[in-house]
């Protein structure tokens, strides 16, 4: 029983440290504006909430601290250009 619990714990810990690849490459989208910068208590950047342009359509998205795209909201944004 202890071996099973140890194995499950190791699987869960290794899953936490594995990184997922970015959704899109940096040349497939363009960052239009940064809406929020998430920081921890020491001032280090944790992530960015941004507006991106893909094929002339605008989306809300999130970048991690390495500026890799990690989340895209599937709803299109209706932005008015001035």
Q: Name the residue with tokens 């605008």.
A: 58
Per-residue pLDDT in tens (0 to 9) along the chain, 82 residues: 888 888 888 777 776 666 677 788 888 999 999 999 999 888 889 999 999 999 889 999 999 888 889 999 989 988 776 6
The confidence score (pLDDT) of residue 48 equals: 94
Q: In the chain, what are the domain boundaries? A: 22-82
The confidence score (pLDDT) of residue 17 equals: 64
Question: CA 47, CA 30: separation in Å to the nearest integer?
Answer: 17
pTM of the shown model: 0.70
């Amino acid at each position: 029983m202890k071996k099973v619990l140890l194995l499950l714990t190791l699987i869960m810990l290794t899953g936490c440290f594995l990184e997922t690849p970015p959704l899109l490459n940096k040349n497939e989208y363009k960052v239009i504006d940064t809406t929020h910068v998430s920081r921890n208590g020491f001032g280090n950047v944790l992530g960015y909430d941004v507006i991106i342009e893909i094929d002339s359509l605008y989306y809300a998205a999130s970048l991690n601290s390495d500026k890799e795209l990690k989340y895209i909201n599937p709803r299109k944004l209706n932005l008015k250009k001035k």
